[in-house]
Copies of this chain bind each other. A is one copy, B any other.
Amino acid sequence: MPQSVGVGRLPVPGGKSGCPINLTVELLGDRWSLVVLRDVMFGGYRHFRELLTNSLEGIASNILASRLSKLVDAGLLSRHEDPTHRQKIDYRLTEASIELVPFMAHLGAWGSRWLPTSPELSIRAELLAEGGPEMWQRFMDELRAMHLEGRPQPEDGVLAELTRAYERARTA
């Protein structure tokens, strides 16, 4: 067990004020933290190189490294050894970051509604928004199975559905 999360609170430094919005912004309010979490959550990427080379926005390697270690320190990602390669590190979501799913859904829904998004990249956000809290719960349970219990991604799950919709739109 790499970190004790899921029970108490996250080990973050106390900020400028104890306001929940302010503290969350202090933790996640930068150019890359949420984008990295998005790629782990929706892209299924768990390794450094995977995140680096599949980054749509072209994150730099030093920024990725600093964000990963910050997110690990904060308890939003956990580091695990990968049995296939001694140097490979498996970054997994924690209960705290899995519970960001409804937040990500709203973020995506608002962005799709108000910002000049590209159609193929909006599809997952729109499906997730339409699915509502019931779908978010299913997705969170799926992420718990994959990231907390180490199970493989189910073929008939929410993630597979979102990915298929994205692939369909991308190749069209």
Interface residues of A (CB under 8 A from B): 9-10, 12, 14-31, 33-35, 38, 56-58, 96, 99-100, 102-104, 106-118, 121-122, 125
List 8 tightest A-B contacts by C-beta distance, closest first: A18-B118, A20-B111, A24-B111, A16-B57, A23-B115, A17-B56, A19-B121, A103-B106
Q: In terms of DSSP, what is the predominant structure of the interface of chain A?
A: helix
Please give the count of copies of this chain that the complex contains: 2
A103 touches B107 (CB 8 A): yes
Residue of B nearest to A96 (CB): B114
25 contacts between A and B (CB under 8 A): A12-B116, A16-B56, A16-B57, A18-B121, A18-B122, A19-B38, A20-B110, A20-B111, A20-B115, A21-B34, A21-B35, A21-B104, A21-B108, A21-B125, A22-B56, A24-B108, A24-B110, A25-B31, A25-B34, A29-B29, A29-B30, A29-B34, A30-B31, A102-B106, A106-B106
